[in-house]
Structure 1
Amino acid sequence: MGTIAVHEFIALDGVFQDPTWTFEYGFDPKMGETLGAIMGDAKALLLGRKTFEMFAPAWRDRTAEDDPGAPFFNESTKYVVGSQEPSEEWGPSERLGAYDPDAIRKLKDETDGTLYISGSGQLVRGLLKEGLVDELHLFVYPIALGEGDRLFGDGVDATKLKLNGQDTYENGVVHLNYGPA
């Protein structure tokens, strides 16, 4: 049986939409080590359709020389959740169709290792509601944006989590590692 590990870059006020605002903080090498550890035993990516379509052009032409994570993102199977067919092509991918927690439970049961999610807020909210997330890694940036899509916005069910660990980086970012309470 596999696990589901999520990582999100978020602002202090919970905004995670279009994280280009993270660029001004730079990327602390220790953050890369943390992300590498999260992806360590990942066997595949699980992504919402919109995130898949955003990631495809950003990753498909990158090499290991450009970014050490490129081989994982490009060569791993990407399971895509969404009611519409993705408009992008990108490496090995399999469409799972509209969000169905039972289908994701089955995929999780059949996976020997981790299913890795980055972004995909709508999918992550559903998985949290169903208790399917094993690790939630929040990289919290020291900025409140005031507007944008929030990971835990209005209408999201209460979600209790347990803090499993934390890290602080030189660029002011705090990593919070949560699991089910």
Structure 2
Amino acid sequence: MKLTVLTFVSVDGVMQAPGGPDEDRGGGFARGGWLVPHFDEDMGRYVAEVFDQVDAFLLGRHTYDIFAGSWPKVTDPDDPVASRLNTLPKYVASTTLTTPPWGPTTVLSRDVPEEVAELKRRPGRELQVHGSGQLVRTLHEHDLVDEYRIAVFPVIVGDGRRLFADHGLPTNLSLVDSRTTGSGIAIHSYRPTGRPEYGTMEAG
């Protein structure tokens, strides 16, 4: 399976608690819910398009708990997001979760990069990661992500956790798709192409 990441970030790179004030108050974060005024019909159609390509989900523990608390309540079989999240296999990275409340769920607790690499070798279309910032950083450091889908919302949050670590694995990217929604969300899809090259700009 191809491992893809869809994440929502602000212009200044914040990904913490995009969907609501109480989604993640870690570190005293008090600016949650910053994407809500900008999420439009175009973005909704894009999300449905992404979920139409999924065969399994890979989630961090915090994102799993958020999803498990809300998506099982959406029972419409035609909902493009809930119909997949509630029925397809979910893999959650956690060393403390023992009895997953939302099936079908498998807990990855031993060696997450190794276990994810094994999942990628299985047949299927996409193994999708949504949110799950800490997990994404781990996957990035082990070169396990095949495609990043980054939706940049037109807001500067000014505080909160960023998507990538301050000192992480340098990676060159190739742009494979780009679009902009009516409210100004810029969606860019990138595929990693190895380590960057470096040079010096010269006048003329």
**Structure 2 SS opposite 1:136:** strand
Report the equivalent of 2:15: 16
Structure 2 length as normaliser, TM-score?
Answer: 0.81
Write the letter of the residue equivalent to 2:43. M
Structure (1/2) with the larger helix percentage: 1
CA contact (8 A) 1:53 1:88 kept: no
CA contact (8 A) 1:12 1:140 kept: yes
What root-mean-square deviation, in Å, do the aligned CA atoms of Structure 1 and Structure 2 show? Answer: 1.8
- 1:99 & 1:179 partners in 2: Cα distance? 24
- How far is 1:36 from its partner? 2.3
Report the equivalent of 1:40: 52
Report the equivalent of 2:137: 125
Report the equivalent of 1:79: 91
Report the equivalent of 2:182: 170
- How far is 1:153 from its partner? 3.4
Write the letter of the residue equivalent to 1:24. P
Candidates 149, 156, 160, aligned match of 2:168:
156
Matches within 5 A, 1:33-112: 33-64=45-76, 67-85=79-97, 89-112=101-124
CA contact (8 A) 2:57 2:91 kept: yes
CA contact (8 A) 2:57 2:129 kept: yes
- How far is 1:159 from its partner? 2.5
Number of residue-to-residue matches in the alignment: 179
- How far is 1:155 from its partner? 2.7
Structure 1 length as normaliser, TM-score?
Answer: 0.91
How many percent of aligned residue pairs carry the same amino acid? 36
Structure 1 unmatched runs, 5+: none
- 1:129 & 1:152 partners in 2: Cα distance? 10
**Structure 2 SS opposite 1:110:** coil
CA contact (8 A) 2:48 2:80 kept: no
* Shift >4 Å, 4+ stretches: none
Bigger-Rg structure (1/2): 2
Q: Which moved more, 1:4-13 or 1:109-118?
A: 109-118
- 2:49 & 2:3 partners in 1: Cα distance? 14
- 1:76 & 1:12 partners in 2: Cα distance? 32
Structure (1/2) with the larger strand percentage: 1
Write the letter of the residue equivalent to 1:133. V
Q: Which moved more, 1:96-105 or 1:60-69?
A: 60-69
